Structure 1
Amino acid sequence: MMPSRRQRTFLLAFTLLCTLWGLGYPLRCEVCRSDGQKCSGKLKTCDSDKDTCVIMVGESSTISTTMSAHDYMVSNTHCCQTDACNTGSLPPPPNNRTENGLVCPSCVAPFRDSCSGSQLARCVGSESHCVYLSGNVHAGIIKPKFATRGCATESVCNTKAGAEVPSITYEYYLNRADCLPAPPPRWQG
């Protein structure tokens, strides 16, 4: 039996209303930080301009970049766009610290918006690009400047100026994000 024209109009109107009702609904994400492998927290209603929840597991010494043997970060990230989709956990990221023969200019300049890269970082694992990142670190109520150069995986090249980049401990707001393939190693004689 086919619905009447009036019933079809009601069904269409109801479907449109439900669709539009969902568009204005803010996303809710779980928020927590932990030094261990498990983390759980309360659901937080996101600002209206935010449309993605994230789960991040990482290992860092200060800032997948390598600025020096003791100044690196690796992370495993999952992004999703439905309520409470970031609950649960991710496996720890692989951390291959084996040098691959590539080098990049290196520097870390907290509280400055530029650095020269007068040192060299030895790239490790699948790091095949040189990056230069600068901006502000949001660490509570303070927002100091930072600049850094070093090695990175090619995926870091997708990060552009204006991006908000979460890390395990802070949120980085980038004013500059340059990325180039690492030059081939020079033969030492």
Structure 2
Amino acid sequence: MPGFVLFCLLSAFLTSGNSLVCEVCKSKEASCSGTLQTCEDSEHVCSTMVAEYRIGGIMFTRSFKECMETSPICDFIPFSMTFRPSIAMRTTFNCCSTDGCNSVQPELPEVSRTPNGFECPSCFALGASRCGYMDTLQCSGNEDHCFEITGTLMIGNFNFTKSSAGCGTAGTCSKKVGSHRYSKNVVDVLTKVKCSPALQAGSTRTEL
């Protein structure tokens, strides 16, 4: 019996010693730093997310570093998206699986307002399950893909449905229909995702 008890104690010690350790923090800036914390047994990834939103003349940024279960966002490519000339976002993600590996701060995609000769259908509608009307948006910089995305964004206890379309970088096409957990308190449930290379301005597009 004593041998069995010793075996159990050793097993518990070794199991706890194998838990992943990640930097954990959140900020309203483009970077954050925090303490190293031991993850839960079900959490196998150290994640970092940085997102910047521009709505009219207002700019706000959020950054998170956390322990997370493996998430589809780990396969995302950093991207920027423009819905209207005055509404845009850019974001970057990083996932790794060694102790403290998310201490490195990822860079947001560069943004350029120089027209690139492409155009896309454009809309941004809150509380709507589809875009009722599309404008034409002149694309700029590295945003040479057209997207149309509908879903519900859940931030803590606050949920809102949104439909959007516009110009995006190639990384926008890494979004897929389904649930995407950007952080423990931010989940995007996408019900429609279309993404394709943009056409030259003036070309005829029958469908995205």
Question: Runs of 5+ in structure 2 lacking a partner?
Answer: 1-10, 61-79, 204-208
The 1:83–1:117 alpha-carbon spacing in structure 2 relative to 1, beyond 3 Å, is farther
Which residue number corresponds to residue 113 of structure 2? 97
Instruction: Note if 1:65 corresponds to 2:81.
Output: yes
The answer to which structure has the higher strand fraction is: 2
Cα offsets for 1:57-86 (capped at 9, x unmatched): 343215911111221112333221234321
Which residue number corresponds to residue 56 of structure 1? 49
What displacement does 1:44 show? 6.4
Alignment check: 8 A CA contact 1:31 1:44 kept? no
Q: TM-score, normalised by structure 2?
A: 0.66
Which residue number corresponds to residue 27 of structure 2? 34
Q: TM-score, normalised by structure 1?
A: 0.71
Q: Report SS of the residue matched to 2:91.
A: strand
Which residue number corresponds to residue 45 of structure 1? 39
Q: Report SS of the residue matched to 2:178.
A: coil
Which residue number corresponds to residue 116 of structure 1? 132
Larger radius of gyration: 1
Which residue number corresponds to residue 192 of structure 2? 176
Which residue number corresponds to residue 162 of structure 1? 178
Which residue number corresponds to residue 157 of structure 2? 141
Which residue number corresponds to residue 92 of structure 2? 76
Question: Runs of 5+ in structure 1 lacking a partner?
Answer: 1-16
